[in-house]
Amino acid sequence: MRPLHFPYTMCSRKLTFFALVLLISLAFPTSSCTEKEKESLLHFLSGLSSDGGLAASWKQNGADCCEWEGVTCGEDGAVTDVSLALKGLEGRITPSLGNLDGLLRLNLSHNSLSGGLPLELVSSDSIIVLDVSFNRLGGDMQELPSSTPSRPLQVLNISSNLFTGRFPSSTTWEVMDNLVVLNASNNSFTGQIPDNFCSSSSLLAVVELCYNQFTGIIPPGLGNCSMLRVLKAGHNNLRGTLPTELFDASLLEYLSLPSNVLDGVLDGAQIVKLSNLVTLDLGGNNFSGKIPDSIGELERLEELHLDYNNISGELPSALSNCTNLVTINFKSNNLSGELSKVNFSTLPRLKTLDVLYNNFNGRVPESLYTCSNLTALRLSGNNLHGQLSPRIGNLKHLTFLSLAINSFTNITNALHILQRCTNLNTLLMGSSFRGELMPEDDFIDGFENLQVLSLNDCSLLGKIPLWISKLAKLEMLILSENQPPDQFQPGSKT
């Protein structure tokens, strides 16, 4: 039996044609922007002292502003997006952009725009994303009147500008009840951080306020931000303790408050509530007391920065349970005991360990040499002793190693081992290996990537060996404060 064939009739051809027309019309809407929208964009253009070639581009693309560079329209022809980041724009932002009734997203970041930020943009009835970061905008941020109805704005990024004066107060944030992301970092805002960010909005997930001049305390009201995942307020002048209410924001993943004047102890009973933490950065403050054992319950933790505080006591062995740790920074504290309290073999992702200027004693734990991903290891400024284990040569990714200001011995053995760390570019061994003989043999032929070598203040004996002259990439060599110059002389001319 022959298969059935359906004739390709004139009717089916017409249906196919109309279907194609329909698809083309959906993909390329025939509607064009209104004269009002066109005038608003041209008025914005006229406020620029340098347009980065934008005027020529818009003129070239005709009268329909939907075809202009950086402008996107919806199916009805209304302008929905103006995206002009990295265009070399200079001059002021005119309020006329607030007349684009259908505008959803405005991105003017990474230009050289100056002047203030028009209130018409912040209080727009349509804009949900406003990004003016990395410009030269300045002056005070204007407050929204208390009579302002709820605003649709979800993302406000004004970071890396020149804003000054007091940060907008409660009345502004009360009408921002749809806000999800707020980034005001790297400005010069003063005053206190508002306590009511989340009194109206339960959606706020990201608050970035670092590198400003905020004073006062961490507002307890931030604990009401049930969706808060990122809180960054480092490099300000914040004081006091961490409020217990803050730990109610249990979804926090990034808590970063470095370089403030915060104090108190790390409350183990509270910190376990933040079980989603990926980054905890409290460096450069005045925290004291011990690192709580409960830190080990933060199993998602990748970055732990407690440097430049007054934290004391031994390391909690429970730190071994934080198996996702990539960075541990404890430098400049009063920590003591042995590093072997932590089983480093459970931290396979560890890349950076910095315990500079503490009071650790004993030997370097063998378990540390199992961290095959280590790129930076700083053990200097402690009371560690003994010889380096040959296993340190297994750290093939190590680029930075500082053993200075300890009581290590057998410098010849150490150098023979460390030459196997082929990626090493910085090796600091000063104020250790005291009174030993500088190895002169030619068996040290590694260190092909070494750029910095410090062996100062070791009271080393002997001559400057020939193998140092073979370090082709060496840029800095420090041999000061060893034996008297008439005894410590080069082995050969280089």
- Provide the CA 21 distance to its chain's centre, in angstroms: 49
What are phi and psi for residue 106, nearest 5 degrees? -125, 120
Closest CA to 221 of 245, 237, 239, 254: 245
Tell me what pLDDT residue 200 has. Answer: 61
Closest CA to 121 of 151, 166, 162: 151
Q: Which amino acid is at 396?
A: K
Cβ count near 273 (within 10 Å): 18
Rounded CA-CA distance 158/187 in Å is 9
Beta-carbon contacts of residue 146 (< 8 Å; ≥ 6 apart): 171, 174
Superfamily of domain 387-494: Ribonuclease Inhibitor (3.80.10.10)
- Provide the CA 288 distance to its chain's centre, in angstroms: 25
What are phi and psi for residue 144, nearest 5 degrees? -85, 135
Beta-carbon contacts of residue 159 (< 8 Å; ≥ 6 apart): 133, 134, 183, 184, 185, 186, 187, 208
Tell me what pLDDT residue 488 has. Answer: 47
Here the tokens at position 418 are 């460390």
Q: How many helices (H) and strands (E) does the chain have?
A: 9, 33
Going from the C-alpha of 389 to that of each of 120, 346, 485, the distances in angstroms are 66, 19, 32
3-state secondary structure 330-376: CCCCEEEEEHHHCCHHHCCCCCEEECCCCEEEECCCHHHHHCCCCCE
68, β-bridge pairs: none
Cβ count near 491 (within 10 Å): 15
Closest CA to 310 of 329, 284, 328: 284
Here the tokens at position 34 are 């209104």
3-state secondary structure 20-46: HHHHHHHHCCCCCCCHHHHHHHHHHHH
Our CA angle for 280, 282, 287, nearest 5°, is 130
Percent pLDDT > 70 in the chain is 91
Closest CA to 91 of 66, 116, 62, 126: 116
Q: Which amino acid is at 463?
A: K
Here the tokens at position 413 are 């053995």
Tell me what pLDDT residue 201 has. Answer: 61
Going from the C-alpha of 275 to that of each of 278, 347, 463, the distances in angstroms are 9, 18, 56
Q: What is the pLDDT of residues 275-306, one digit of tens each?
A: 999 999 999 999 999 999 999 999 999 999 99
- What tens-digit pLDDT sequence spans the chain (494 residues)? 434 443 433 334 433 444 443 343 444 444 588 999 999 999 999 999 999 999 999 989 888 999 999 999 998 889 999 999 999 999 999 999 999 999 999 999 999 999 999 999 999 999 999 999 999 999 999 888 888 898 999 999 999 999 999 998 878 888 888 999 999 999 999 999 998 888 766 799 999 999 999 999 999 999 999 999 999 999 999 999 999 999 999 999 999 999 999 999 999 999 999 999 999 999 999 999 999 999 999 999 999 999 999 999 999 999 999 999 999 999 999 999 999 999 999 999 999 999 999 999 999 999 999 999 999 999 999 999 999 999 999 999 999 999 999 999 999 999 999 999 999 999 999 999 999 998 887 678 889 999 999 999 999 998 888 889 889 999 999 999 887 544 444 443 32
Cα torsion angle, 38, 44, 45, 47, sign: positive
Do β-strands 334-338 and 400-402 pair in parallel, antiparallel, or remain unpaired? unpaired
- Provide the CA 293 distance to its chain's centre, in angstroms: 27
DSSP 169: -
Q: Where in the chain is the domain with CATH 3.80.10.10?
A: 261-375, 387-494
Closest CA to 354 of 304, 422, 318: 304
Tell me what pLDDT residue 20 has. Answer: 40
Q: What is the pLDDT of residues 88-115, one digit of tens each?
A: 999 999 999 999 999 999 999 999 999 9
Closest CA to 129 of 162, 168, 80: 80
Beta-carbon contacts of residue 417 (< 8 Å; ≥ 6 apart): 388, 389, 390, 392, 393
Class for the domain spanning 261-375: alpha beta
